[in-house]
Amino acid sequence: MLKNVLIAGTALALVVLISACGPSKTVQRIGTDTTVDLSGEWNDTDSRLVAQEMIKDVTNRPWLSEFQSKIGRKPTVVVGKVVNRSQDHIEVKTFIKNLERELINAGTVDFVAGTGEREQLREERMEQAREASVETQKASGQETGADFMLIGTLTSIVDKEGGQAVKYYQVNLELVNIESNKKVWIGEKQIKKFISQDRVKL
Amino acid sequence: MTTATMHRLKAAVAVVFGCAVLVACGTAVAHYAAIEKNLWSGNYAAAAAQIEKSQKEYGNKGVVLYNLELGTAYHYAGMYDPSTRNFLTAERKMQDLWTVSVSTEASALLLNDNALDYGGEDHEKVLVNFFAGMNFAEKGDYESALVEARKVDTKLKEISRLYDGKNRYQEDAFVRYVAGVLYEADNEMNDAFISYRKAAETYEGSFKKTFGMVMPGQLKDDLIRSADAMNFREERDQYRQKYGKQGRAYSKSEGSVFAVIYSGKSPVKVENNFEARLQDLQGMYHSVKVSVPKYMDREARIRSYTVMLTPEGGGSPLTGRAEVAEDIGEIAKKALEDRLTILYLKSGGRAILKFIAKEQANKEIKKQTGGGFAGELLSFATSAAVDATEAADIRTWRTLPDNIQVSRIYAPPGRYTLTVSEAGRIVASKPVTVKAGGVEVAALPDVN
């Protein structure tokens, strides 16, 4: 009986030792457009896809042709604040950059730099006025004022029980006429994810 | 004694020795002496360094605990970035522990719960988000602070589901209250009002009934003021009538400081040992040791604080009193009581298994040694060693305060020094800037 206890003890110790050894780390390069979901949280793929779809939607709506026929040029848009109201620490700046890229690539609107970048450019112009030759200096007061601002919120609802969770993200974007405060477009995009975690492991 | 008997005896001694080694699986607390020495003398950065130095003592089963305690020490030291990293790591690891290892569960069933990874008590799972949120708030990142507040909502629902809604810690009034302050700081007065209302409902409901807590008086003012700011006249007048006070009118020209004071030492877990009596097939009664954790207070009284806001350029200071908004010690005790039913079942099952193993070993020893003094001695040693493996899991987030107190002081915009004192003793002091219509959240530790 004691022999059996010893064998069982050794077996248990082996199991503990084996389970203590973690897998070795490997690194594999993958394409930046590849979808890899690890934690189920908002990730780069979500940011890219949502930006693509929403900008595609906003640039295919009547406000654009209405503006062009009335004013006779492409509207100028600036991306404002997108507020994170979700349960994840989302890098909103990445999402804003994705929106900006899609807006420029759409080619149907003109696009101006946001608040932070504008300050940097103004500082550069002030420095040019002091340091650069007159013929290469860029004039102040020549900025293009935006006609519309794109603003939005990112919210999430999480339903979780033990190892299972359903995460529902909703992005709301609005295009607002800066002069009149009129909202000319409201867009909405949802993403739903089911996350499952195993209850037991060896 | 024949050679075969000698071999068997050696084997029996090996089992006893094995059991004695396994006793070492109890909770290690020796390293806390140096950590708490620094913590209690207000050397929070040194306490954090000591925790890092003691990482080995926490072991691979105490990784969550290590991150929680290191995160708190950094938070007290005002080192918010490393604090946040540790809290977010602790939270992620807590979730990872949903997946249990069959081998460690088996070890825990045979030995004690110290063989399991420490995943945190229910209130600790919530407080990790509160502290991470405070780190973001201290840095002025209210958007991220509110991410942490929203996580609490999901977490409390999840915890209640685990107990089929029979647990008492289902809602946290204090975290709701702080969320309201954070919404206000983020210029979201509507959401602030909703959070204040939920906080008040919980203080007056489950927090009063279960934890014997009194709603902080300043929350009444916050309700009236936020309703006033949103032009919710009906609600504002209802609260005025209910609380019998006019309250403070909302004013965009002034700001406020919301001081959060971490007061005292949280209770710690100690072993609660007793003997279970089991009857064998012959009708004989045998005693088996059963050990479960219980909380022991380290604070004899609630500390009373005065909060002072002194203008930087001189002038009369503005003063206020702090009120208890979260009784961590009381919540911890009730949350553990809720979990105790499960612990008793587990401990009882383990007692039966240990009893069977002990009986089998004793029978074998008797058979091999033919009784006698050596056999008796070995049986006694085996029995003692098996009993010694029964140990309660007394691991707990020891760097938590006993309670959290809050005080809100309204002031015209400007730079001030915020000072907290208790019975003439200066507890903490820090510079703060009050902005018109803004809220400055300030964390001040007094866990000495």
Q: What is the mean pLDDT of the segment spanning B273-288?
A: 76
Rounded to whole angstroms, how far apart are CA atoms B226 and B437? 12
Q: For residue range B121-154, list pLDDT tens digits in order.
A: 999 999 999 999 999 999 999 999 999 999 998 8
Of A2, A16, A83, the CB nearest to B103: A16
The answer on pLDDT for B444 being more than 80 is yes
Rounded to whole angstroms, how far apart are CA atoms A61 and A187? 11
Q: What is the mean pLDDT of the segment spanning B311-316?
A: 89
Q: What is the mean pLDDT of the segment spanning B81-106?
A: 87
pLDDT at B23: 44
By the 8 A CB rule, do B107 and A12 touch? yes
Rounded to whole angstroms, how far apart are CA atoms B165 and B106? 28
**Cβ-based contacts of B154 with chain A (< 8 Å):** 87, 158-160
Q: What are phi and psi of A42, to 5 degrees?
A: -55, 130
**Weakest-pLDDT range from A6-10, A75-79, A92-96:** A6-10
Of A2, A89, A163, the CB nearest to B147: A89
Return left, alpha or beta for B424; rule: phi > 0 is left, psi -120 to 50 is alpha, else beta: left
The answer on pLDDT for B247 being more than 80 is yes
Rounded to whole angstroms, how far apart are CA atoms A192 and A40? 10
Q: For residue range A152-161, list pLDDT tens digits in order.
A: 999 999 888 8
Q: What is the mean pLDDT of the segment spanning A141-154?
A: 93
The answer on pLDDT for B263 being more than 90 is yes
Q: For residue range A21-55, list pLDDT tens digits in order.
A: 444 567 777 776 677 776 778 888 999 999 999 99
Q: What is the mean pLDDT of the segment spanning B261-289?
A: 83
> Which of B121, B62, B132, B165 lies closest to B331, judged by CA?
B121
Q: At what angle do helices B63-76 and B80-96 cross, to 10 degrees?
A: 160
Are B103 and A158 inside 8 Å of each other by CB?
no
Residue A36 contacts B where some CB pair is shorter than 8 Å: no
The answer on pLDDT for B171 being more than 80 is yes
Q: pLDDT band at B371, cuts 50/70/90?
A: low
More confident residue, B432 or B248: B432
Q: How far B302 CA lies from chain A's nearest CA (Å)?
A: 34
Rounded to whole angstroms, how far apart are CA atoms B391 and B305? 39
Residue B165 contacts A where some CB pair is shorter than 8 Å: no
Extract the tokens encoding B360. Answer: 């089998």
pLDDT at A25: 63
By the 8 A CB rule, do B422 and B322 touch? no
pLDDT at B5: 53
Using only C-alpha atoms, chain A has a radius of gyration, in whole angstroms, of 26
pLDDT at A13: 46
Residue A163 contacts B where some CB pair is shorter than 8 Å: yes
pLDDT at B19: 47
Angle, CA of B114, B117 and B120, to the nearest 5°: 95
Of A87, A159, A160, the CB nearest to B150: A87
**Weakest-pLDDT range from A182-191, B12-21, B81-90:** B12-21
Extract the tokens encoding B44. Answer: 């929070």
Are A19 and B101 inside 8 Å of each other by CB?
yes
Q: pLDDT band at A79, cuts 50/70/90?
A: very high
Average pLDDT taken over every residue of chain A: 84
The answer on pLDDT for A115 being more than 90 is no
Q: How far B308 CA lies from chain A's nearest CA (Å)?
A: 34
Q: pLDDT band at A133, cuts 50/70/90?
A: very high
Strand partners, A122: none
More confident residue, A190 or B110: A190
**Cβ-based contacts of B360 with chain A (< 8 Å):** 1
Q: Which residues of B189-211 are buried (b: 16+ CB within 10 A; e: fewer)?
A: bebbbbbbbbbbebbbebbeebb
pTM: 0.82
Nearest chain B residue to A18 by CA: give it. Answer: B103
**Weakest-pLDDT range from A2-11, A66-75, B1-10, B45-54:** A2-11
Are B150 and A201 inside 8 Å of each other by CB?
no
pLDDT at B68: 98
| High-pLDDT (> 70) share of chain B, % | 85
Of B18, B103, B162, the CB nearest to A9: B18
Q: For residue range B56-82, list pLDDT tens digits in order.
A: 999 988 999 999 999 999 999 999 999
Nearest chain A residue to B145 by CA: give it. Answer: A89
pLDDT at B14: 52
pLDDT at B22: 47
The answer on pLDDT for B321 being more than 50 is yes
